[in-house]
Amino acid sequence: MNLKNEESGVYHAYLLRLWRSEYQGRRQWRASLESLHTVERQLFSNLEQLFAFLSERCEGQPPYEDWRPI
């Protein structure tokens, strides 16, 4: 892994944790992301916040020209 790629936004690696908890009588998903590069942890009280964070993190980055699904 190249730290330059992380700094330039080309590569992101996270440990994702998901769990369900009850809030005001409703069960909902919670999440945390831990950066494998900085060990910084982000907590999310719902999946929408998680998706917004990831979308913002990846926004404006050019797609890989040679990308293909595995």
How do residues 38-62 score in pLDDT, each as one tens digit? Answer: 999 999 999 999 999 998 888 866 5
The percent of residues above 90 in pLDDT, for the chain, comes to: 54
Q: How far apart are CA 13 and CA 1, in angstroms?
A: 10
By the 8 A CB rule, do 16 and 5 touch?
A: no
Rounded to two decimals, the pTM is 0.69
On the question of pLDDT at 15 being above 70, the answer is yes
Would you kindly state where each structural domain of the chain is located, as residue ranges?
Answer: 3-58
Of residues 15 and 66, the one with the higher pLDDT is 15
**What six digits make up the tokens of 60?**
């404006």
By the 8 A CB rule, do 14 and 2 touch?
A: no
Helices (H), 1-70: 3-8, 47-58
- pLDDT value of residue 31: 97
- pLDDT value of residue 58: 82
Tokens 């982000």 belong to 42
**What six digits make up the tokens of 38?**
């900085």
